[in-house]
Amino acid sequence: MHQWLLLSFFVFSMASSSTSAAGTLHYWSMKARGYPIAVIAKAAGVELNWPIESEEVCDRRLEEHQAAGILTFNQWPMLELDGKRIVQSGAIMRLLARRGGLSGDDEDEFVLSETLMCEAEDIFQAMARAHYDQKEGSNQAAWDKFFSNWFRKHCGYLESLLPVDRPFFKSGPKRLTGGLYLACVLDSCLDIEPKSLDDFPKLKRFEEAMIALPEFALREGRDIYFKRLG
């Protein structure tokens, strides 16, 4: 009887796990808002579909979602997971972090992860401002100002936070959500200015170590969003 119960439980568990559906991330296939979400999902052990599709296909699907009224704030990204539709990139990343235990092992690590989350978002927003600061179709001057001033200052802040004895902010096998988000944003900065971390050896070491992780393999083949124009 005892063996039968164990076998029944095993079969039920296998059936449940085999029928659990992967999540779907709705966002353009480029390295922008969807990029850190997909990386964090991978690190959290959450199976996620985020196919590489044309911009036109994504545009049409966004219009369909808007027409159907299923986007709370009428915009992407949206994560469909376990029958739920979750919007706002910060909420999505933190949900995935909670599932994967990526917010730190104690209060200090939680604060550090959230600090890095906020800093990564600040860099992302500053990049967006530079990208859209176009004069006669060119944003070269805005990017030059970003990399020579604002970005260098914030790299210095991050450099001071990194330990000298390891490339990551956190020891142990798990990376912090904030560190994963930061690595995605720095990756986009290097797409635009490949030498932008050369004066910050600890931060450059961090970025190289993060990008080498298997969670970042999904970046291959994806277009960049922020870029120099003109």
CATH number at residue 202: 1.20.1050.10
For residues 219 and 181, the answer to whether their CB atoms sit within 8 Å is no
Parallel/antiparallel/unpaired status of strands 48-49 and 23-26 = parallel
- Tell me the residue range of the domain where 158 lies: 107-213
User: What is the distance between the alpha carbons of residues 32 and 38, in angstroms, rounded to a whole number?
Assistant: 11
Angle between helices 151-161 and 201-211 (to 10 degrees): 80
**Angle value at C-alpha 35, between 22 and 75, nearest 5 degrees:** 80
Phi, psi (degrees; rounded to nearest 5) at 165: -100, 0
Q: Is residue 196, in this structure, part of any structural domain at all?
A: yes
Q: Is residue 183, in this structure, part of any structural domain at all?
A: yes
Q: Is residue 165, in this structure, part of any structural domain at all?
A: yes
Burial 31-68 (b: 16+ CB within 10 A, else e): bbbbbbbbbbbbbbebebebeeeeeeebeeebeebeee
Q: Is residue 50, in this structure, part of any structural domain at all?
A: no
Q: Is residue 200, in this structure, part of any structural domain at all?
A: yes
What's the pLDDT at 151?
Answer: 98
Q: Is residue 64, in this structure, part of any structural domain at all?
A: no
What's the pLDDT at 146?
Answer: 98
Specify the number of domains making up the chain.
1
**Nearest C-alpha neighbor of 179 from the set 110, 226, 133:** 110
User: What is the distance between the alpha carbons of residues 85 and 77, in angstroms, rounded to a whole number?
Assistant: 10
What's the pLDDT at 27?
Answer: 98
Q: Is residue 195, in this structure, part of any structural domain at all?
A: yes
In this structure, how many other beta carbons lie within 10 angstroms of the beta carbon of residue 110? 16
For residues 185 and 93, the answer to whether their CB atoms sit within 8 Å is no
The ranges of the chain with pLDDT < 70 are 1-20
What's the pLDDT at 6?
Answer: 41
Q: Is residue 199, in this structure, part of any structural domain at all?
A: yes
Beta bridge partners of 135: 138
What's the pLDDT at 8?
Answer: 40
